[in-house]
Amino acid sequence: MKATTTLKKIGTGFREIHRLEPQLIPLTVLSSSLKAALPFVNLYFSSRIIDILSTTRDRRALILSVALALSINLFLFISSRTLENRYYMSRGLLYNKERGEIIRKLYSMDYEKLESPSFQNLLHKHQEAMDKTGSSLFRLSWMLSNWVSGGVMLIFSLVLLFPLLKISFRGGESFVESPWFAIALFAAIGIAVAIILLISRKISREWFRLSEQYMGIDKIYYYYTELISDYKTGKEIRTYQEQNLIEKDATQLVLTDGIAIQKKIAANSAKSSSLIAIIGAVIGFGIYLFIGLKGLAGLFSIGSLVCYTGSFMQVVQGVTAIANTTGQMPQVIPTMDYYFDIIHTEPTKQIGTLLPQEGPITIEFKNVSFRYPESENYALKSFSIKLENGEQLAVVGRNGSGKTTFIKLLCRLYDPQEGEILLNGVNIRNYDEKAYQKLFSVVFQDFSMFSFPLAENISVAEDYEEKRVWSCLEEAGIADDVRKMEQQLGTYLYKDVEETGVEISGGEAQKLALARALYKNAPFIVLDEPTAALDPIAEYEIYSKFNHFVGDKTAIYISHRLSSCRFCKHIAVFRQGELVQLGTHEELIQHQDGAYYELWNAQAQYYC
Ligand code: ADP
């Protein structure tokens, strides 16, 4: 990656940290500066105290030095601890805010994008980075902290080393006193820094490559461990004894391939730490030699010897930290990219600004063809149909014939690749998406109810009209069951959020989903297999109320129970993504070679 690109990305990363958690950068700078300054106070005062003890033995000066050393130590200690606590708090906030940004993005992005395997992979990688480092942006503040503390160490060291440098560059007769000695030492430090930077970059690139490999395995492991801990999937796992399969697919994979990768990662880190430690030791030896020889030549006091040695070591520590941290850019930047790739995902759907007019609704599919992303086959092909206001259409067809896809396109979860969908003669792409979706009350076949209080599940809001909620529950045939619950409308569904939540059956959930659709009271109602999970009595009750639910609304009703479709004016018969028949039951049943006749007969044969 080019240096300018890297710098730009670092800048963008810091701006984002500042936007999300403005306190983190100042806290990082302050707390790492204070932490880095602390050893120098001790170095300076130890050397002073040694000098006093070995020369004048002035009691007042001694007490003053000790008192000053203690007070400054105490001040730095307390303030650095206070700042550190606030720093950790701020780091936690960054984590939560980063998650918040991702959640907001996920909510507003195209459903099609969210569903794509490549995007799901990206999400997993980002989650991994969050789990490992506390936040993918945080690594940048960790770098800042090392740069600042390294820089502070260098500044303080150079201040303390100034007298030594003066002596070193003054020149003398022997090599020990000549400037070349100092130049050789600084050159050696410079070379060591460059080597550390290169090692760190190389190892860091390798680390990132291996981590990406590991994430592929880890994703499967995560999936399986979540399955095992989720009590909802526990039934299948036990009755089908899927433990062995899970053990083989997930655990073994992590234990063999995963561990092999982890070992490589660990060996790499060990190699880099050892190399850096060896280089540090060699430089350390050079420094001791440099200062020791100068000390032997009697160029400074014993106290100064302590101070110079300590300060030089801090120089090494500081530059090593800066070089090592900078070298880790190849893993920090791509990790940060995960976050930005998600955040910068822009909707590709054309979103219009038109607001649907109140009043009659006509929907028309004109030659619509649609393929799911990354799929080769058409789920709907050259599909045309028109629904007039107040019309009730039943949709029938075998599994996979495109019925649900038709609904998803109608609700604009996807856009067709060919053809157009019109609302009152205008392409739905021209409407404001949210306003358009407000037109539909939908019960999807694979509907979801959430671990919220029951009434909030129905009203999808914290403020709800209690009377209306009850009336919708009544219509959906579940009010009596809710009345029996201790918390009634306040009852939490499931136990994910609230321990006292209720576990509802599939049929009860379906009735609640129906009540939610009724509460929305949109002008267009779509019911995709709304009675699939209901017992025959409940199913009958729903059918008998169907006309009442729908009233004069436009409605689409998908069902495999063909007898229940007879009350719809039109029946659309789907086959392999195409609309093959459209008419009333009486018309369609006439065509003995038609798809409807085949379905009707099959049902009569198997169910009567
Ligand atoms: P139906 O509701 O009639 O059972 P669907 O509309 O759900 O049928 O599916 C139509 C076709 O599209 C099927 O072949 C199905 O496998 C495919 N399909 C459905 N959903 C997806 C998806 N999210 N991604 C890829 N293919 C899908």
Residue 405 CA to ligand 1 centre (angstroms): 6
- What number does the ligand 1 atom closest to the CA of 398 have? 3
Give start-end residues of each CATH 1.20.1560.10 domain in the chain. Answer: 2-343
Among 115, 369, 372, name the best residue to mutate to test ligand 1's pocket (greatest count of ligand atoms within 8 A of Cβ). 372
Q: Which helix (H) or strand (E) holds 205?
A: helix 179-229
CA gap 393, 584 in Å, rounded: 10
CA gap 572, 281 in Å, rounded: 81
Residue 582 CA to ligand 1 centre (angstroms): 21
| Predicted structure pTM score | 0.77
Query: Tokens 């929907």 — which residue?
Result: 363
Q: Which of 96, 98, 114 is CA-nearest to residue 106?
A: 114
Strands 378-387 and 363-371: antiparallel
Q: In what order do the strands lie in the sheet with 378-387?
A: 378-387, 363-371, 418-423, 426-427
Q: Can you give the three-state secondary structure of 494-514, one letter per residue?
A: CCCCCCCCECCCHHHHHHHHH
Contact 367, 540 (CB under 8 A): no
pLDDT at 607: 55
pLDDT at 1: 65
**Full DSSP string of 19-38:** HH-TTHHHHHHHHHHHHHHH
Distances 219 to 120, 213, 225, 226, 558 between C-alpha atoms, Å: 10, 10, 10, 11, 36
Burial class (CB in 10 A: 0-12, 13-18, 19+), 361: buried
pLDDT at 83: 92
One-letter amino acid at 8 equals: K
Query: Which residue puts its alpha carbon closest to atom 16 of ligand 1?
Result: 400
Query: Which residue puts its alpha carbon closest to atom 15 of ligand 1?
Result: 400
CA gap 381, 372 in Å, rounded: 12
For the record, the structure tokens of 597 come out as 């006749």
Backbone angles phi, psi at 464, to 5 degrees: -140, 160
2-343 topology per CATH: ABC transporter transmembrane region fold (1.20.1560)
Give the 3-state secondary structure of residue 426. strand
Strands 363-371 and 418-423: antiparallel
CA gap 43, 308 in Å, rounded: 9
Residue 470 CA to ligand 1 centre (angstroms): 35
Among 115, 116, 380, 404, name the best residue to mutate to test ligand 1's pocket (greatest count of ligand atoms within 8 A of Cβ). 404
42 Cβ contact list (under 8 Å, min separation 6): 69, 73
Give the 3-state secondary structure of residue 145. helix
The number of CA neighbours under 13 Å toward the Cβ of 429 is 14
Among 383, 405, 406, name the best residue to mutate to test ligand 1's pocket (greatest count of ligand atoms within 8 A of Cβ). 405
CA gap 154, 337 in Å, rounded: 31
Query: Which residue puts its alpha carbon closest to atom 1 of ligand 1?
Result: 400
CA gap 333, 563 in Å, rounded: 61
Question: What class has domain 450-521?
Answer: alpha beta
CA gap 532, 561 in Å, rounded: 9
Strands 440-443 and 392-397: unpaired
Burial class (CB in 10 A: 0-12, 13-18, 19+), 554: buried
Q: Which of 319, 325, 326, 313 is CA-nearest to residue 192?
A: 319
**What residues line ligand 1, using a CB cutoff of 6 Å?**
115, 372, 375, 379, 397, 399-405
Residue 539 CA to ligand 1 centre (angstroms): 25
Residue 397 CA to ligand 1 centre (angstroms): 13
Strands 570-575 and 392-397: parallel
Query: Which residue puts its alpha carbon closest to atom 7 of ligand 1?
Result: 404
- What number does the ligand 1 atom closest to the CA of 528 have? 2
**Mean pLDDT of successive 10-residue segments in the chain (608 residues)?**
85 95 95 90 88 86 91 90 92 91 90 87 86 79 93 92 82 77 88 89 86 79 75 74 74 78 85 85 87 83 86 88 89 90 88 86 94 88 91 89 93 92 94 91 86 88 86 89 88 85 84 90 87 73 74 85 75 91 86 84 66
Partners of residue 555 on adjacent β-strands? 392, 525
Backbone angles phi, psi at 284, to 5 degrees: -55, -45
Query: Which residue puts its alpha carbon closest to atom 14 of ligand 1?
Result: 400
Residue 556 CA to ligand 1 centre (angstroms): 18
Residue 531 CA to ligand 1 centre (angstroms): 20
pLDDT at 54: 84
The number of CA neighbours under 13 Å toward the Cβ of 132 is 18
Residue 567 CA to ligand 1 centre (angstroms): 27
Contact 587, 607 (CB under 8 A): no
CA gap 312, 522 in Å, rounded: 75
Give the model confidence (pLDDT) of 112-134 as tens digits: 888 888 898 899 888 888 877 76
CA gap 410, 431 in Å, rounded: 13
CA gap 209, 214 in Å, rounded: 9
- What number does the ligand 1 atom closest to the CA of 406 have? 6
For the record, the structure tokens of 469 come out as 């909620």
Residue 89 CA to ligand 1 centre (angstroms): 47
Q: Which helix (H) or strand (E) holds 527?
A: strand 524-528
Q: Which of 163, 96, 173 is CA-nearest to residue 135?
A: 96
- What number does the ligand 1 atom closest to the CA of 397 have? 3
Residue 400 CA to ligand 1 centre (angstroms): 5
Q: Which of 525, 336, 543 is CA-nearest to residue 442?
A: 525
- What number does the ligand 1 atom closest to the CA of 375 have? 25
Give start-end residues of each CATH 3.40.50.300 domain in the chain. Answer: 450-521
The span from the first CA to the last CA of the chain, in angstroms, equals 70
Contact 380, 368 (CB under 8 A): yes
Backbone angles phi, psi at 574, to 5 degrees: -100, 140
CA gap 264, 217 in Å, rounded: 15
Backbone angles phi, psi at 467, to 5 degrees: -65, -40
CA gap 135, 598 in Å, rounded: 58
The number of CA neighbours under 13 Å toward the Cβ of 471 is 11
pLDDT at 416: 93
Q: Which of 498, 395, 248, 585 is CA-nearest to residue 485?
A: 498
Give the model confidence (pLDDT) of 452-468 as tens digits: 889 888 988 778 888 99
Q: Which of 599, 580, 581, 527 is CA-nearest to residue 381?
A: 580
Contact 65, 45 (CB under 8 A): yes
